[in-house]
Structure 1
Amino acid sequence: MESLPPTPILGFNPDTLRDVRRQFDLDDVAKIHESVDLIEAWLQKQDYHVKKDYDRKHLERAIIFNKGSVEKAKSKIDNICRFRALHPKYFGPITREQRLLYPGIVDCILPKMTSEHERVYLLRNDAKKFEHGLLHYYKYVIALAEYEMAHDYNNGVIAIFDYMDVDMFVLMKHTNIVEMHLALMIMTEGFGMRVKGLHILSKNKGIGVVVKIFKRVLSKKLANRLQVHKSFDTLYDYVPKDVLPVEYGGPEKSLRTLYEDNLNEITSQKFQKHLIEMSKAVTNEKLRRKGKVGVSTDNDIPCTFGTLTID
């Protein structure tokens, strides 16, 4: 790709394409084309991969999201295709009505990148319980990841979870840890999302206990990147104010407005067609040769995040 055109929900810094490529020693365009050629050739040889024709920009993003490594990109493509085959309910088109089952959760990908070309995901939750479970929320977030694979070009993701108005003990009581674990595996081991920071906003007295529980089950690297903030002031030490919504002290549109922008884009007819097309990117496990490394099934997912590898 020669440029990064903005989308209705994603903006880029003027130097994002150059800087991100340079960081991974890919500022030579010929080397990028050669790397994409290698993945295309590899796909053609994998009998168990149902979909073999990918947009070259998609494959370039897979390489970028895996720090320029062709072999890691192959592994993640293999993983996400197997995830789609084994857990189809987490993938595919999602309707506006399904996302609106969670009125207490307002989230979005922020349009402006940090100066380091990192993308920021922000969620505010004031729900007391989830009568419908969280499956459709996870499906929506996975659709957001599909959107990033189709359009983004980042140097990692920073996630912010605003739990200022929720009792963390109640939240954990209504959270299915196995579903959460699988969703995280899909995001990191499937899409190759590089989590650069994980920030929780909470004044709740129980947050310390909850964080201890999380730190026991998160990978050591991600646990070390988990920060708790009792106010926005300390959050600004990690996330620049100028990328944040107005109610978080930044110049951006309100979180509610950005959420609506995201929702409109993800549930648009055009992107729904893309999700349908990507649903074909699965593996036929009956054809997979013995010894090929895969991902977990519903029956062998451990109730821990410890197996996650976070960049």
Structure 2
Amino acid sequence: MKNKLKEILTDRNSEGQWFAETKDIIFYFPLPKLTDNLYRVTIGGLLHILLYLNTIQNYVLKLAHMVQEVRYFSEFSPFDVYILDMKDVTLFHILRYPVSILTAIRDFGLIAYRVQFKSGHFINSPVYLDILIAIVKLILKPKIFKRIHVHRNGVGNLYDFVPQSLLPNEYGGNAGPLRELWEQWIKKIEDNREWFRRQENMRTDECQRPKKEKKSFISLM
């Protein structure tokens, strides 16, 4: 996976310029408390209106993946819930993520990390989000796709799935100010700088991967 997605899975240096810029553009972090069912809720979105993406889309995914890795080796919850705030997300932003990238995100969670995906929620969703949803439907199994919910007006009925009290203050909860929660996770990433450095050269040697055996007509009889 690292060999295929070098832009996202390598050069994860929290002292780099990309890190300083990206952490001020997005937020993406697990909420402090679990639900009563022991679900871990992760929330993400834009901190301000972003008129361009260009190469920043790879940095967004890189930083989000770093958060996930720190979370997985520091604590583990059996079930995951994801909330993506689509406020200030434009059609141009959505079109910057091709099917190949969306498939990679799926593989990270459902295959590499064996995430037990309980539900995903798009809040403050614009109409053009339907383009992304149509693509997601193509790459997910039907039973997984049914767990995705689009909330058009604000948070919609999000509280039916996630206890309101668990959410950041900005979303009607009392977990604390969003930016303070995000800064706590930025510090966790910075504190694990050496761990990410050691991971940099760890990757699969594709030369050692066994080649798939080609079955002859006789062997199939």
TM-score tier (shorter) = 0.7 to 0.9
Q: Which residue of 1 aligns with 2:149?
A: 227
Q: Which residue of 2 aligns with 1:286?
A: 207
Letter in 2 for 1:173: L
Residues 172 and 85 of structure 1, relative CA distance in 2, 3 Å threshold: closer
Does 2:5 match 1:84? no
Moved more, 202-211 or 150-159: 202-211
Q: Please state how far the C-alpha of 1:177 moved relative to its aligned partner.
A: 3.4
Q: Which has the higher contact order (CA 8 A, sep 6+)?
A: 1
Does 2:92 match 1:170? yes
Q: Which of the numbers 128, 132, 141 marks the counterpart of 1:206? A: 128
Q: Which of the numbers 116, 134, 146 marks the counterpart of 2:37? A: 116
Distance 1:104 1:192 in 2: 29
Letter in 2 for 1:90: I
Q: Please state how far the C-alpha of 1:119 moved relative to its aligned partner.
A: 1.2
Q: Please state how far the C-alpha of 1:238 moved relative to its aligned partner.
A: 0.7
Letter in 2 for 1:148: R
Q: Which residue of 1 aligns with 2:216?
A: none
> Identity of aligned pairs, percent?
20
Residues 282 and 206 of structure 1, relative CA distance in 2, 3 Å threshold: closer
Q: Which residue of 2 aligns with 1:133?
A: 56
Aligned to 2:105, the other structure's residue is in SS state helix
Aligned to 2:81, the other structure's residue is in SS state strand
1:245–1:254 CA contact under 8 A, matched in 2: yes
2:27–2:44 CA contact under 8 A, matched in 1: yes
Q: Which residue of 1 aligns with 2:196?
A: 275
Which segments of structure 1 move beyond 6 Å, counting only runs of 4 or more?
A: none
Q: Please state how far the C-alpha of 1:234 moved relative to its aligned partner.
A: 0.3
2:124–2:155 CA contact under 8 A, matched in 1: no
2:125–2:150 CA contact under 8 A, matched in 1: no
CA RMSD, Structure 1 to Structure 2 (Å)? 2.4
TM-score (norm 1): 0.60
Q: Please state how far the C-alpha of 1:278 moved relative to its aligned partner.
A: 3.3
Distance 2:125 2:8 in 1: 32
Q: Which residue of 1 aligns with 2:21?
A: 101
> Unaligned 5+ residue runs, structure 2?
214-221
Letter in 2 for 1:132: T
Q: Which residue of 1 aligns with 2:113?
A: 191
**Aligned counterparts, 1:237-256, within 5 A:** 237-256=160-179
1:198–1:227 CA contact under 8 A, matched in 2: yes
TM-score (norm 2): 0.81
Residues 210 and 191 of structure 1, relative CA distance in 2, 3 Å threshold: closer
Aligned to 2:150, the other structure's residue is in SS state strand
Residues 213 and 153 of structure 1, relative CA distance in 2, 3 Å threshold: closer
Residues 186 and 212 of structure 1, relative CA distance in 2, 3 Å threshold: closer
Distance 2:158 2:208 in 1: 48
Q: Please state how far the C-alpha of 1:150 moved relative to its aligned partner.
A: 1.2
After superposition, what is the alpha-carbon deviation per residue over 1:72-130, rounded to whole angstroms, capped at 9, x for unaligned?
xxxxxxxxxxx235444433533253234334322222111111111111012243331
